[in-house]
Structure 1
């Protein structure tokens, strides 16, 4: 079951229908880092023993490649230490841009981490060839997660094994307990500061909760250090002396969801108003917990309020309680500013021993960092979230909306938004990769180009692409902040700011949409009296559907069974008439109905049909999945059934994304898109409805089907 309010995407776009550019090569694999450089229009890829550059305007164009292999001796020594041959090579796990324009590239180098400088030009890339050992900065193991950033040519790196250095193990254990590093972010508090504030570095990670029982329970954390922290003079030498940490809560399902990725949306006016957006997944340690994912948002000011609160102290029995004793001055964890400089502390090296000793013994805060609104922006049960980036979209009216661009473990991208006064919703989801591989990297350019990376491929999509909304109603009802209807151009387009462009994000008001010039005629179909037959309905969205007969809502009955893919009908003579399949969308308590397809049904008494006009749609029986597949002929010439010699249709499901465990009902793989010939239309997971209850078996209707002659119906067993 779904906890909280699980969200179904408005539309799901399978891989073959995604507008984008894809980079793949037979020799390209083990993608370990992805860096966007808009200043030179390049995407820098660090992979297994090679570095590549692609054009950021079109990633199918490779602009440079250079190899960086570990030496034979390094590989051999690595294997003698018990490491696998696959891991004993150089995985390029980090690429950083320096102020000079050069790059620093780093790799695992067969468990002997090294960095080198690299020059990137329009057509080539080249390494300097002066490798530097950087143990403790880059992980030894390519599968270890780490977090890092480059600022002012200073590298801030957090690795699981060596975040605080390799010495003084007992001190490291008191500050961190087997951490898994997720993200590191710099907040430039010094900008526009009136008290000489230092910049702050925020680290997000998971670790074992020393304050919880059982002690091996994993929890999410956020920690803070000061950018100019040089460590202590005697204690914590060359280590963070300002390190403090707090529990990070995203409440859904259980109390210890695990953070997977973090994006800092920086405020352009006041750094204190910046917001952290984070993806979380359920903690597998909780027995019986269903698997969910969520996005939570945190105000930077709320995080700092927790760091200004009470510390926890460990008791002799191993418990943790609020610390009530005297707190040294300057306050542990605080950064150097004008006030501390006036007191004689111009750097962390000047801080007294009781400051650094206190940090060692009390790194954990009592307060818990809770999300804005006290709950997630979004919860999903069918996709496992991995990466996130956030784009701030400004409407022509000056309204700002945050678009959440979320990568999943099965290769999908979800575009989500939360407007004031409503729950978060997923505008659409795109299948980025043909195989169900995790989205390991996401980067967004200032022009709306999104780059997603998995182990063996990189994809580029335009998040502002509005071409999938083919009508004004569709464009407005999708309520996509990127898109609106351009009345002059007669199409859905990204925000133009002209008087002819409009959108309605709150209400989905389509009253300004033009009336279609041509109304689509209903499909004329001939059904056989007292036989179970099927009218398919395939909306291009994941919205629920409803049926009307004439102008009345159609309710299920002995002769009428609406299912997810259409309507099973066993008609009597009085059932002839107009049937309409509609999607239903509730926006602010107002129900919006959109017609998907209409059928003008005629009912015949017997199986001996009069010749049907070519415009009408023949009826075909659907047989049980155990029925052998019957090959059908090509339908290049119209075939009109006139004696009920109708072809059985094979009963297979629509191919969706591989790895169906990561699908939601009504999404890709569940038959929402038009499945084409021979895909069967029964309700997924059920026996063919009416197969034994209705005489003559179940009939499938569809203009996309092909026909061949098989034995007459009276010679067949009922479906």
Structure 2
């Protein structure tokens, strides 16, 4: 019987299968294997803002006490730097207010580009927010020194969430506007400043997420106004139970001027609605984490918001769930054109059933209203504005396209999202979702018509686990930029080089990639020559590929009947695997345990033959199999095995050393003081027993269980065993030779079998 440590290893290996995520990315690329560029330097810490400037070829980075510019093509090249630190007096004053010295610095939280190319820069400035303007001239940035109050434009606290947007030199922001963080205001700054009312029905303990502009005025036949949308979470006032967090979307009109008497310098168009993304356990609210607007240039109503959600803000690890939901602007505006909720005298919220004033409360000015003499919000009646003030919440719920998420993942938490639109070879448009996680990975996902969303690949952006809080994408170059505490990274998400065969390239169904038949490589679809490229996003049709002549050579393994062997299978992808013995599918049974990492086998005398590990991928009901590795297993009795190994080792040693002699290398023959064997996976054998090492597979005889201290994994390490004479030849396998031991039976030996690769 196997000793407890051995049993424990196999138990843990088998149990780990149960923790595999049901919908895994097709491929995972670790930080070490990802060809990314990163910027790090001494004194650069607390990255707090990120902005792409395609027009000047720069990535602008805000951090603690400074702003940097990095080359957009290669961020390892710093082009300029501007320092903006706080004075010792401001730092001391901040600390007297009870703040930690680490917080009492200037963290650059806002970077926006003005119409003339200047940049608005705002920082926390030791809990006294300030803004300045910055220029980029002759390859260098410089602050103008025209500092002005930044209260409400950025938060006081460097770690507090907020949102901001710049449109035509006008700044929109949603942030706490006081030191104690008790007054959160969604406002427009500039010549016609407006802000929200400090009423519980407008905001109730909110967390701001993002602000977006929908350009409804472009190509509009009705003279419609642009819409500004705000995403946030808050405690629901309409729920009977306290502390229920919900997701919201709010809308205001860009040309809103406030009211003449009621709602002076306040939004007259502020409406909000619940935002639904149904997934996870019943009763759990889905909380929005980020939103990205993909504009339709022809019809703004067909524009789509893509938003990331988590099922529960408290959960983490294997129990957490995340999703991406998409919302059409026409559906959102339909909710804002609907009925309202109202608070009853009892404190309960119900549908408003009374008469609504004209125009519909919260409406934006259009040609229809202009024809009736309403040229701006200043022309709205007090009755209409009073209704808006007391009824900001809509009855309807904004639901996603098709009523369900595009993508759901278990065991991770989504954070930021951007969406790129790609034209495939057949001229169709496909949306690639680029999603950051709280563990520092990027998910590259797609959803084709009639299918669930799937993650093509996930990329590890940071070497250590930390949230992706910044995600910027250059649609011109296809480069994605992100950052963590003291590092900025750049990665090409359109890279197709990881698909090494035509089959893999087409089955991945990556909208960025197609197979170049002339160059025999997977290449970007951007700029592809139609005659030489093939792509099959809908079906993954690999029959389009040239016939491959590659064949796998079986790895030869010798086993003893009843011994336990682990045959590893490590595909480049995360696809499920299957095992075949000859032509028969292997299922888990008394002698086989099929795992995602390989096969545990306890062979009998009849189990000699070819074992094949394949990946299995199903596209549109068609199963595709690809061989990963093959083993030729020969089951032998102990004596035959040892004689074969002895001859093989001696021949290999002789050939290798002859080669070394021809190369001028000297032979070294020595007697080594052996030490107790400590081999991960094979356990410790008795002292004064023989061992043969030929690399890299191993097995142990069942009669040795009493000597095993660890379970079988891999033969990665070996140290000499005490009391044995060892022949050491430079560049040769290590062979311990004792003929009388080799021919003995049941001598409590631990045998290691490794090929010389």
Whether TM exceeds 0.5 here: the answer is yes
Report what 2:567 is aligned to.
535
Report what 1:640 is aligned to.
none
How far apart are the structure 2 equivalents of 1:256 and 1:51? 38
Answer yes or no: is the 8 Å Cα contact 2:701–2:749 preserved in 1. Answer: no
- Encode CA deviations 1:3-59: one digit per residue, 9 max, x unaligned: 9x9521001111100011011123111111100010001000111110000001001
Q: How many pairs were matched up?
A: 663
Tell me, what secondary structure is at the counterpart of 2:117? coil
2:246 is the alignment partner of 1:212: no
Q: CA deviation at 1:171?
A: 3.9
- Structure 1 or 2: more helix by fraction: 2
Report what 1:97 is aligned to.
113
Q: CA deviation at 1:511?
A: 1.2
Report what 1:488 is aligned to.
518
Answer yes or no: is the 8 Å Cα contact 1:23–1:60 preserved in 2. Answer: yes
Normalised by the length of structure 1, the TM-score is 0.86
Report what 1:263 is aligned to.
292
2:737 is the alignment partner of 1:710: no
- Encode CA deviations 1:191-224: one digit per residue, 9 max, x unaligned: 1112221110000000110001323211000000
The structure with more radius of gyration: 2
2:47 is the alignment partner of 1:16: no
2:109 is the alignment partner of 1:112: no
Report what 2:661 is aligned to.
none
The runs of 4+ residues in structure 1 deviating greater than 6 Å are 165-170, 285-289, 614-617, 677-682, 688-699, 716-719
Answer yes or no: is the 8 Å Cα contact 1:530–1:695 preserved in 2. Answer: no
Q: CA deviation at 1:286?
A: 9.0
2:438 is the alignment partner of 1:431: no
Answer yes or no: is the 8 Å Cα contact 2:209–2:231 preserved in 1. Answer: yes
Structure 2: runs of 5 or more not aligned:
1-16, 177-182, 188-192, 653-666, 668-674, 683-693, 723-740, 753-757
Q: 1:410 to 1:225 in 2, by over 3 A?
A: same
1:668-687 equivalences in 2 (<5 Å): none
1:70-81 equivalences in 2 (<5 Å): 70-81=86-97
Normalised by the length of structure 2, the TM-score is 0.82
Answer yes or no: is the 8 Å Cα contact 2:680–2:710 preserved in 1. Answer: no
1:478 pairs with one of 504, 508, 513: 508
How far apart are the structure 2 equivalents of 1:171 and 1:551? 73
Once superposed, what is the RMSD of the aligned Cα atoms? 3.4
Q: CA deviation at 1:402?
A: 0.7
Q: 1:180 to 1:359 in 2, by over 3 A?
A: same
Report what 1:225 is aligned to.
252
- Encode CA deviations 1:313-370: one digit per residue, 9 max, x unaligned: 1000111111111111122111112222232222222222112211111000000000
Report what 2:222 is aligned to.
195
After the TM superposition, which of the residue ranges 326-335 and 403-412 deviates more from structure 2? 326-335
2:160 is the alignment partner of 1:144: yes
Tell me, what secondary structure is at the counterpart of 1:341? helix
Report what 1:623 is aligned to.
none
1:60-71 equivalences in 2 (<5 Å): 60-71=76-87
2:356 is the alignment partner of 1:324: no
Q: 1:706 to 1:75 in 2, by over 3 A?
A: closer
2:600 is the alignment partner of 1:568: yes
After the TM superposition, which of the residue ranges 231-240 and 178-187 deviates more from structure 2? 231-240
Report what 1:500 is aligned to.
532
Q: CA deviation at 1:477?
A: 1.6
Answer yes or no: is the 8 Å Cα contact 2:316–2:411 preserved in 1. Answer: no
Report what 1:557 is aligned to.
589
1:190-589 equivalences in 2 (<5 Å): 190-253=217-280, 254-284=283-313, 290-446=319-475, 447-495=477-525, 496-589=528-621
- Encode CA deviations 1:291-310: one digit per residue, 9 max, x unaligned: 21110000011100000110
Tell me, what secondary structure is at the counterpart of 1:594? strand
Report what 1:7 is aligned to.
23
After the TM superposition, which of the residue ranges 451-460 and 507-516 deviates more from structure 2? 507-516
Tell me, what secondary structure is at the counterpart of 1:610? helix
Report what 1:35 is aligned to.
51
Q: 1:565 to 1:319 in 2, by over 3 A?
A: same
